[in-house]
Structure 1
Amino acid sequence: MFRPLPFFIGLRYTRAKRRNHFISFISGTSMAGLVLGVMVLIIVLSVMNGFDRELRQRILGMVPHATITAAYGELTDWKDLSKTVEAIPGIEASAPFIEAQGLMTSRGQVKGAMIYGIDPKLERNVSILPEHMAAGSLDKLEPGKFDIVLGDILARSLGVAVGDQVTIVLPDAAVNPAGVFPRMKRFRVVGTFAVGAELDSTLAYIHLTDAGRFMRYKEGVEGIRLKMRDLFEAPRLAWEAAMQLPGQYYISDWTRTQGRLFQAIQMEKTMVGLLLTLIIAVAAFNIVATLVMVVTDKQADIAILRTFGASPRTIMGVFMVQGAVIGVVGTLAGAVLGVLAALNVPEIVAWIEKLLGIHFLSPDVYFISYLPSQLLWSDVAMICVASIGLSFLATLYPSWRASRIQPAEALRYE
């Protein structure tokens, strides 16, 4: 079988036992550093992808992908508008809403909240709310009964449960002969939801009809919320929808309300990735030290090869192969370990928590109680290419130095 001479000799040098055990130690350290760096980088990026996925599914599953509201007054023809926008490719569904900020009071507790008037039947088409009910049901919101569904944290803060009463106070004063009084109404709690995010402490839902009466809407609604097939297309599709509707409207999308949060996550992922890449870079520089010492140790062998007619290019190839083998083996081993660990991060963390008797992510503090992980093969490929690339670059200088050795100088004292 044909094997190029540099490849054959380079593999022999890689497998051979060295007289200098320190060189073997440095070589093993370099490979272990690559394994550790690649493995840790895959695990960390997978965990950050998992957090990004959870935030996207939970927060963007509750907040509107986009909204269309009337420029002036109410949106009275929202049913016709919904049919128009749902016909646009990329927009999956729409639902009407009425929004207000207010105070909730119960048993001496006062909390601020965003109150949404919704149609329970239409809301399930644009929100994940029905799938995250902790108690009760969203379908129990019936018109005219003034029922309410609260976030789990908000309900606990007010000290209420299903069947209890809460009073909503709106910042809209009414003047009557007895004086100036804020608008208020008592609602009965028929359900609580828990999506595991900060939204659990700030959101409340009532029926659209009750919201219209309480907030003094005559016939219409405040606007319609849209659900996109691809949420990253929300700005373009919302603008396209507004252009096809008669009249003047205000449009908004999730990039304006929640965009900074996801930009921060992406920036953190990028910065952590760059910092952890330094682990791979350090291991690659160890390859430089390994090959420099190997070149010094193999000067006599290099001189003999040159005497037999080996060209400087052949000598350079020998040591490039040796360094590349360290890089490829270390990278592949780290990738395999990293992929296996990333696919089982929740189970591994749960086992460690059980072993140590601690809980890393308390549900009272964090929006999820487990460590999520989402392995992206594009990340694995990028990490492997970067690791092998750095390892290859690390072989250039020692290999070039080996190719410059003169046989006469190397054999003078042999």
Structure 2
Amino acid sequence: MTPEERRAFGSRVAELRKQRDMTQEELAAAISRTASWVSQVERGVQPVNRLDVLRLLADGLGVSVQTLRPEVPAEAPRNAPEEHGEGSNDLDQARLVISGHPVPEVLLGHQPTGSHGSLPELRAAVERIWELTHDDRFSELSAALGPLVPRLERAVRTAPAKDRPELFLLLSRTYQALAAAFVRQDDPDAAWVAADRAIHAAEQSGQPLHVFASVFRLAQAFVRLKHLDQAEHAATTAVNAVEQYTQGPDAEPEALSVLGSLRLVLALVHARAGDRAKARQETERARTVARRIGEDRNDFNLEFGPTNVEIQAVSIAVELGDAGEAIDTGQSIDASALSVERQARLLMDMGRAYAQRRQSGEALDCLLQAEELAPEIIHTHVASRGTIRELMLVAGRSASPELKALAERADAKP
């Protein structure tokens, strides 16, 4: 945008806001930005070049993107039924598992025939759940959770008292995996339920660090729901408690992993709110925690460590619109030792950064590499599909066969 275009755009935003009797503060709250950001947009100081931010602003004003920027091509309705069923995704079966009470028959004193399984069998099943989660194999995950969650819920109520703390821990870990998967599939209300159940089960297990790991999953769900105040509250109260626990040179690395992960989710909260200074501050605090650990770890399946902090720094930079910084940081990262999900997430965010720079060829290459690693994250993640749509809109009729095919596979055609 030229300065004149920015001022004209800002005037249009201000006019539409006033027509709806909204204050700058009310509009800012509706789109999870600050009143200062809205003021800068209306004065032509803050450009709005990214399509996702333009959509967000249009939604907050209750108008179409074309009302704000007539030159942007019209898109198909985002809530239109999809070819494979309205609102369906690979975790539909898992969503049913958290609907209602998991074992109502036990409440009425009925003991089903058959065993819920031995502890070694249940431990192996939960490890398998996390393998599928880290690999973004959501269809298999959903199928595995169907029988496992009721088995664990039955076990914590009927097993001998000596076994219940470990069974509660296994149940919490299962719900944590489910919450993580729901967030990635853009099903945050289900993630909220799963994370809340994970917190309760972790407390019953007597493992407080698992409680805080579950709070991390809850904060992620709040971020995806755009409940940034709730996300900040949940993460900040947890950080304050864990930070006191980790003071001193002998802090447990497991506790540091939780602290660092909570710092990263706070960085994301501030990035989504458009607060660049606080987002960078929390990212640097996470780096400090990672340096204290000194290695990449996977405590509580958080994959926290120096490498993951940099992967998250790329994501934060993309959220802030700092594409050049995201690309420079991402190009120096070797994520090969981390999970497939983390590797694919880095490539997806690099694709988003290149798309922001209008480097469509590089963006497509990153997305295709991510798809090869973890197809489901590219086909289902809201950020990935949004980037593919944006690439298609920019390319128009000159879109390459590879891009058209990717858009078809991700059902992300404009």
Give me the TM-score of the superposition, normalised by structure 1: 0.22
Give me the TM-score of the superposition, normalised by structure 2: 0.22
Return the index of the structure with the highest Cα Rg.
1
Answer 1 or 2: which has greater strand percent.
Answer: 1
Which protein, 1 or 2, shows the higher relative CO under an 8 Å CA cutoff with sep ≥ 6? 1
